[in-house]
Amino acid sequence: MSKRTIPALLMTIGFAVLAGCSTPSVITLNDGREIQTVDKPKFDEESGFYEFEQLDGKRATINKDQVQTVKEL
């Protein structure tokens, strides 16, 4: 094995592990709209908002009063 093979292999394994950690979810709002997220939304009790990353990579928040359900895909 060359000196480049081992680091490349370790990086590939690392990316595979990180990809396996994300949990795509769907947030259903009270008005029936659905928002797909890259990862599981985190609830901030202090502010009362769910924080999540949208499919386009943008971070977003939504008030818990607007959320009907949060389901993992």
Q: What is the pLDDT of residues 8-67, one digit of tens each?
A: 777 777 666 555 567 899 999 999 999 999 999 999 999 999 999 999 999 999 999 999
Q: Quick one: which H or E segment has residue 21?
A: helix 5-21
Token pair of 15, please?
């990316």
Cα of first residue to Cα of last residue in the chain, in angstroms, is 40
pLDDT of residue 5: 79
Token pair of 13, please?
């394994």
Single-letter amino acid, residue 18: L
Across-strand partners of 51?
A: 42, 61
Which residue carries 């008005």 as its tokens?
Answer: 31
Domain boundaries 22-72, CATH class? mainly beta
Q: Where are the domains of the chain?
A: 22-72
pLDDT of residue 63: 97
